[in-house]
Amino acid sequence: MRSLILPLVLALLAAAPAYADIQGRIRLAASAPDPASVDMSSDPFCFRRSPHARAQSLRVSEGGLQDVFIHLVRPEAPPRPAPLTAAHLTARDCTLQPRVLGVQAGQRVTLASEDQTLHALRIHDAAGTQDRRLPKAGMAFEHRFTRPQVMARITCDVHPWMQAFVGVVAHPYFAVTDETGRFQIPTEGLPDGRYPVALWHEVLGTRSATVAVSGGEGRLELTWDSAP
């Protein structure tokens, strides 16, 4: 029996479709200014947790630009249902993490708190603004962004420095750059071709580009011209 299982497994692996990614890196040409300090002294808990907090709106590491939301514009691909798994935003040390998140329209987003202080979150959704409270650590709620929106914003009425941005698109072909400016966009179900790409950054604004996809693979390297 064992001798029959191995050939069957190998045959199934060979028959399974292989998918690749659009990969790349976004850089900032100029040197980024030093991040401004954030005064959290209005809330003793926040100040204890982050007495030397810095703004997160423009983060660059070794030239790589973090928190760029990248998505294909109207990709010519069959519609795909939203993922069943939820995306996550967490109030931690009186900041919302991650700063920038991408989801597919209809996907659940779990918002949770790890802080022993009140967060009064305001979700600026294209379908209607919603206010939700997270009074203490361990509490959470779910939200669905049902309409595409680049970008939806989440703020806190108690802590004005707290905010996060959610890119909501109607398909799964999107990504957010990591701390080194790198990203990967899945290409499952995406036909080969040339696709327009939109890029968004909280401080630097928007840019457009084009990526060629062949055999499920693509490459996009882009340098943002200057800091503000």
- Write down all domains in the chain, each with its CATH number in brackets: 20-224 (2.60.40.420)
What's the rounded mean pLDDT across residues 37-66? Answer: 92
Of 183, 169, 167, which Cα lies nearest the Cα of 220?
183
- Beta-carbon count within 10 A of 152 CB: 22
Please give the residue that has the higher pLDDT: either 198 or 34: 198
- The residues, ordered by sequence, that sit 6+ positions from 88 with a Cβ below 8 Å of its Cβ are 109, 110, 112
Please report the pLDDT score of residue 196 as a whole number. 96
Does residue 69 have a pLDDT over 90? yes
Q: What is the 3-state secondary structure (H, E, C) of the chain?
A: CHHHHHHHHHHHHHHCCCCCEEEEEEEECCCCCCCCECCCCCCHHHHHHCCCCECCCCCEECCEECCCEEEECCCCCCCCCCCCCCEEEEEECCEEECCEEEEECCCEEEEEECCCCCEEEEEECCCCCEEEEECCCCCEEEEECCCCEEEEEEEECCCCCCEEEEEEECCCCEEECCCCCEEEEECCCCCCEEEEEEEEECCCEEEEEEEEEECCEEEEEEEECCCC
- Residues 122, 111: Cα–Cα separation, whole Å: 11
- The residues, ordered by sequence, that sit 6+ positions from 18 with a Cβ below 8 Å of its Cβ are 216
What's the rounded mean pLDDT across residues 53-63? Answer: 90
Is the Cβ–Cβ distance between 160 and 94 less than 8 Å? no
Please report the pLDDT score of residue 16 as a whole number. 39
- The residues, ordered by sequence, that sit 6+ positions from 73 with a Cβ below 8 Å of its Cβ are 195, 196, 197, 198, 208
In tens, the pLDDT along 35-47 reads: 889 999 999 999 9
Please report the pLDDT score of residue 222 as a whole number. 94
| pTM of the model as a whole | 0.88
Please report the pLDDT score of residue 227 as a whole number. 58
Does residue 1 have a pLDDT over 70? no
In tens, the pLDDT along 145-196 reads: 999 999 999 999 999 999 999 999 999 999 999 999 999 999 998 999 999 9
